[in-house]
Amino acid sequence: MSSYKFVISLLLYCFVCYSQNTDTIDVYYYQSIVNKIINYGLQEGKAYEMLEELTSIGPRLSGSIESWKAIKWAEKKMLTLGFENVHIQPVTVPHWIRGQVEEAYIVNGKEKLSICALGGSIATSDGGIIAEVIEVRSIEELQQKKEQAKGKIIFWNRHMDKSKFNQGSAYGEAAFQRTQGAIEAARVGGLASISRSLTTAYDDVPHTGVMYYNDSLPKVPAAAISTKSADYLSQKLKNDSHLKVYLKLTCQTLPDTISANVIGEIRGTEKPEEIIVLGGHIDSWDKGTGAHDDGAGCVHVIEALRILKDLNLRPKRTIRAVMFINEENGLRGGNAYAENLLKSEKHIFALESDAGGFTPRGFGITADSITFEKIRKLESFLKTIDVDRISKGGGGVDISPLGKLGVPTAGLRVDGHKYFDYHHSDNDTVDKVHPRELELGAIEIAIFVYLISELGL
């Protein structure tokens, strides 16, 4: 470069630094690193390959042999990739198993209904349950019909609201029937709870998920029913309000067992005691193979660190990957991590990817307004790959205990329109994940946390 060009470049550089008003962000320097991360990730990405490895283990419900195999896979992967301080953190987890039989049909005609047990449900008696059915869409409606509900199977048929753009909030509104259905059924003397699957997909695949009991009420079996079977049963009930349904489940809860979080990191060069945590959850439900939920989040995190490491981008602050156990039915991994923080360390930021491996959009952030504004200044670096939507409100279940301790939290935002088609069901398999979309999530995280590790919060 000629000296003339050098002076012009220097002047331009100073002007850019000044005009950005971002303290001392060296825009040219960091943009060149961002470009490197993007090029390398898109050319040499390993996220999908890792997701294939992880999901080939099978579904990974807490306490299962597969979940332990996944923990060992993650530990070995981090060691192979040269992460530092790789270790597992023991966590005691619940151990529920589905059992061999889950069956339901309309007694008259033996017409099969597509159901599956909800996670945590008790079994039916060996002979199953045969009872009339009452259909409701809300707890209030069940209360109004409580005299008719006694001795019946409570059939919750609340649809997820398709008209909501944000399907996460539609899920949140309809989730009570799965989580509270058995409690409310028991409260009115019902024999079992069957709830419409939390999806807008119209198919014959039931979606499982966590459910709860209230210790002061009897426990009744709880199942999810596919959207097609729910509509079919609803139609049949219109013609015959006395029809009977047979339900049999053989699931059971075993004693708690030992499991683990998996942890690895790239140590910071200047402030290693300042920690940026990246999380995904290594457990999944026992339907499908947990590809989007949350195999994608796990490989996002490992891949983000791998890219930084391969590019020899040593961060100033420590970037730590945590594969949390037991997000789906207990949060024991997230709690164990937050309860065992080292006094010598300061967690400055926590990010979770648990929205699936779809095209990324940006981040949702929960932080005080000063921190939020600092983070928002990074938007321009994320524009190159169209992931610059940084908005208020976000985090993740596993990092919520850190949030309660005052750590700013973030959640990866993705295009979420298909997520609930797959969520907690046999549909959640690796073929539903697009390699390029998945990789872009890891690239976005790598850029974001590298910049935070350089600039601090």
Q: Which is nearer to Zn ion, 354 or 454 (CB)?
A: 354
Among candidate residues 95, 398, 93, 120, the one with its CA nearest the CA of residue 258: 93
Cβ at position 103, least distance to Zn ion in Å: 28
Q: Write the DSSP string, 352-402.
A: E--S-SS-EEEEEEES-HHHHHHHHTTHHHHGGGT--EEEE----TTTHHH
Q: Write the DSSP string, 398-457.
A: TTHHHHHTT--EEEEEE--TTHHHHTTSTT-SGGGS-HHHHHHHHHHHHHHHHHHHHH--
Q: Which is nearer to Zn ion, 82 or 168 (CB)?
A: 168
Q: Are 220 and 190 in contact (CB under 8 A)?
A: yes
372: exposed, middle or buried (C-beta count within 10 Å: 0-12, 13-18, 19+)? middle
Based on C-alpha coordinates, what's the Rg of the chain?
A: 24
Q: Which of 102, 132, 265, 293 binds Zn ion (CB under 5 A)?
A: 293
Select the span of 83-91, 251-259, 266-274, 289-297 touching Zn ion (CB under 5 A).
289-297
Is 398 near Zn ion (CB under 5 A)? no
Cβ at position 300, least distance to Zn ion in Å: 12
Number of residues binding to Zn ion, judged by CB under 5 A? 3
Select the span of 28-36, 104-112, 248-256, 288-296 touching Zn ion (CB under 5 A).
288-296
* Residue 318: strand pairing partners: 275
Alpha-carbon torsion, ordered 345, 75, 252, 108, to 10 deg: 120
Q: Are 298 and 54 in contact (CB under 8 A)?
A: yes
Length of the chain: 457
Q: Of the residues 66, 327, 437, 454, which is catalytic?
A: 327
Cβ at position 60, least distance to Zn ion in Å: 11
Cβ at position 205, least distance to Zn ion in Å: 18
Q: Which of 132, 135, 274, 294 binds Zn ion (CB under 5 A)?
A: 294
173 included as an active-site residue: no
Q: Which is nearer to Zn ion, 279 or 315 (CB)?
A: 279
Q: Which is nearer to Zn ion, 91 or 452 (CB)?
A: 91
Q: Are 136 and 157 in contact (CB under 8 A)?
A: yes
Q: Which is nearer to Zn ion, 144 or 166 (CB)?
A: 166
Cβ at position 373, least distance to Zn ion in Å: 29
Q: Which is nearer to Zn ion, 149 or 277 (CB)?
A: 277
Select the span of 54-62, 202-210, 291-299, 399-407 touching Zn ion (CB under 5 A).
291-299
Q: Are 167 and 420 in contact (CB under 8 A)?
A: yes
Select the span of 142-150, 287-295, 312-320, 442-450 touching Zn ion (CB under 5 A).
287-295
Cβ at position 354, least distance to Zn ion in Å: 4
Q: Which of 75, 283, 354, 428 binds Zn ion (CB under 5 A)?
A: 354
The catalytic residues are: 327
Give contact residues for Zn ion (rule: CB under 5 A). 293-294, 354
